[in-house]
Amino acid sequence: MQNDINATLSCLNCKFMGERHTAINAIATFTMENFRVRVVANNYLGWKHRLAPEREEWLQRELATTRGISINYESTLFVFTVRHPLSWLRAMHREPYCWHQPELKELPFDVFLRNPIEDYRNLIVMWNQKYRSYLRFADEVPYSIFLRLEDFAADQYAVYKQLKSRIPAKGGFSPMGDYISGKGVGLDRNVSDHKKDLNFSPAELSIVKEFIDLELLEHFEYDLDVI
């Protein structure tokens, strides 16, 4: 799953993909601070929170920059961010970033878990489908890596070393202290805030277990009973 053969020789760009509230902005900022790569925005292969593109799309998509530099899958490290689904569900309840469904934040949590979101049956089904698509995409492209929010929060230097084996570093390691979300820098928070709000009632946990893809949990080394 961690495709990295000769990556440091070929990867001039990073494309981040993952769900909301998975430290995607923080890790992208960290990458720009520490590595000599271009972090590619939505103009190459679309929204960072989308389902992964199918093969016929990413094989043919190419972006010519204003400097005449071509961005395509052969020059890009695809970085996928993931978070424990329990803490992710709590974060999504606080702020789902779903402007056309403003009522979502007001729903009781157990109702929220079953409620349709965007064009998905519910949030848990959306998590399953998106991360299944990211795993498939990561297997298809030459260079890819999955980074867990929990690992970044626990040891940024370990994540730095993982990335350094795939993309060229600028110099010394530069840790990131500020919390960065889709709304910008939050000085009152930090990257370890994922540990709060993890107490699920038996009824809430039963809903999660009804829908969650257990194979995905095992792949990412997550447990519904112990975080």
Contact between residue 134 and residue 17 where contact means Cβ atoms under 8 Å apart? yes
Answer whether residue 96 shows pLDDT above 80.
Answer: yes
Q: Which amino acid is at 128?
A: N
- What confidence tier does 199 reach under pLDDT thresholds 50, 70, 90? confident
Q: Which of 79-88, 160-169, 180-189 comes out lowest in average pLDDT?
A: 180-189
Q: Which of 63-72, 73-82, 140-149, 189-198 comes out lowest in average pLDDT?
A: 189-198
- What confidence tier does 184 reach under pLDDT thresholds 50, 70, 90? very low
Q: Which of 58-72, 90-104, 173-187 comes out lowest in average pLDDT?
A: 173-187
Q: Which of 54-63, 156-165, 176-185 comes out lowest in average pLDDT?
A: 176-185
Contact between residue 34 and residue 169 where contact means Cβ atoms under 8 Å apart? yes
For residues 197-217, give the mean pLDDT.
92
- The residue extents of the domains of the chain are 7-219
Q: Whole-angstrom distance between the N-terminal and C-terminal Cα of the chain?
A: 23
Answer whether residue 179 shows pLDDT above 70.
Answer: no
Q: Which amino acid is at 52?
A: A
Report the pLDDT value the prediction gives residue 66, as an integer from 0 to 100: 55
> What is the C-alpha to C-alpha distance for residues 175 and 177, in angstroms, rounded to an integer?
7
Span 140-150, pLDDT tens digits: 999 999 999 99
- What confidence tier does 62 reach under pLDDT thresholds 50, 70, 90? confident
> What is the C-alpha to C-alpha distance for residues 218 and 197, in angstroms, rounded to an integer?
22
Answer whether residue 3 shows pLDDT above 90.
Answer: no
- Report in angstroms the alpha-carbon separations of 1 from 15, 59, 86, 207, 222: 16, 19, 23, 29, 17
Span 80-89, pLDDT tens digits: 999 999 999 9
Tell which CATH architecture fits domain 7-219.
3-Layer(aba) Sandwich (3.40)
Report the pLDDT value the prediction gives residue 186, as an integer from 0 to 100: 46
For residues 154-181, give the mean pLDDT.
88
> What is the C-alpha to C-alpha distance for residues 191 and 19, in angstroms, rounded to an integer?
16
pTM for the complete prediction? 0.89
Answer whether residue 218 shows pLDDT above 80.
Answer: yes
The single residue listed with the structure tokens 């495709």 is: 3
Contact between residue 134 and residue 144 where contact means Cβ atoms under 8 Å apart? no
* 3-state percent breakdown (helix, strand, coil) of the chain, nearest 5: 45, 15, 40
**Alpha-carbon torsion, ordered 95, 101, 103, 107, to 10 deg:** -70
**Bridge partner residues of 80 (DSSP):** 17, 146
- 151 or 10: which leads in pLDDT: 151
Q: What is the mean pLDDT of the chain?
A: 87
- What confidence tier does 11 reach under pLDDT thresholds 50, 70, 90? confident
Contact between residue 72 and residue 47 where contact means Cβ atoms under 8 Å apart? no
Contact between residue 201 and residue 113 where contact means Cβ atoms under 8 Å apart? no
CA atoms within 13 A on the CB side of 106: 3
